[in-house]
Structure 1
Amino acid sequence: MTPHPARLTLLMRIEPGCLGPDGKLHIATFCAAATRLFAASAPQGLCWQLIPRHDKRLPELSFLLQDQTLTDPQAERYLQRLGLALAPLREQADERLAELVDRYLKTLGSRSP
């Protein structure tokens, strides 16, 4: 059995407030669904994990490699080896997240009587 190559995990913390005043009720479900959608389009060597951001002292985006936290410069170097760059990845992630939030809010609105 060959070992799996290390994958960089991009841990994105999502503010419950982005889902409106009742965001705390929906953020865990949203993050689970968004993680699956992000994973479906992640470049090889990357893994997205979206979790609720309950502690504002923690950064919105963290980088993990085999359970070790990387600094932004370390993550940038790792991404360069994969032929990727951090700035465009962040931009694409922010755009994708905004789309998913809009879609999710629309589904919540369609449940109202």
Structure 2
Amino acid sequence: MTQTTVTAKRLTIQIRLEPGCLGPDGKSHIETFCAAATRIFAAIEPERVHWVLLPRHDKQLPEQTFFLGDRKLSEEQAAQLMSRLGLDLATLQERSDAMLALLVERYFKTL
């Protein structure tokens, strides 16, 4: 399998985080937090998933969006793709939620 094929099969999961999750001063820290969290998330299923964590300044945007290349996928399509790649999307989402909770907790300890 070539690198191009592996990259083409990677699901991109875009997670938008509310600045308020970092407390009342979250707006001033959310950009840095998202950049650091994206680097940490890169270690979660790196051959099959590409993580992008962004601030959620517009509440009309969804918390999670899924992509295969430039193509936007529904959650059902993302789950089917993950299943073909040997992963369960719900389990992956649970892992990402737990990791985010841990990172937010660590953030508060640094204040």
> Would the TM-score normalized by the shorter structure come out above 0.5?
yes
AA at the equivalent of 1:75: A
Q: How does 1:1-113 map to 2 (within 5 A)?
A: 2=2, 4-5=4-5, 6=8, 7-107=10-110, 109=111
Bigger radius of gyration among the two: 1
1:47-71 Cα offsets, whole Å, 9 max, x none, are: 1110001111111111011111100
In structure 1, stretches of 5+ residues that fail to align are: none
Shift of 1:43: 4.3
In structure 2, stretches of 5+ residues that fail to align are: none
AA at the equivalent of 2:4: H
| Runs of 4+ displaced beyond 4 Å | none
AA at the equivalent of 1:67: D
1:10 and 1:63 in contact (8 A); partners too: yes
Which deviates more, 22-31 or 58-67?
58-67
With the length of structure 1 as denominator, give the TM-score of the two structures: 0.89
Counterpart-to-counterpart distance in 1, 2:3 and 2:32: 32
Shift of 1:4: 1.6
Shift of 1:32: 0.2
With the length of structure 2 as denominator, give the TM-score of the two structures: 0.91
1:13 and 1:52 in contact (8 A); partners too: yes
Equivalent pairs, count: 107
Q: Percent identity?
A: 59
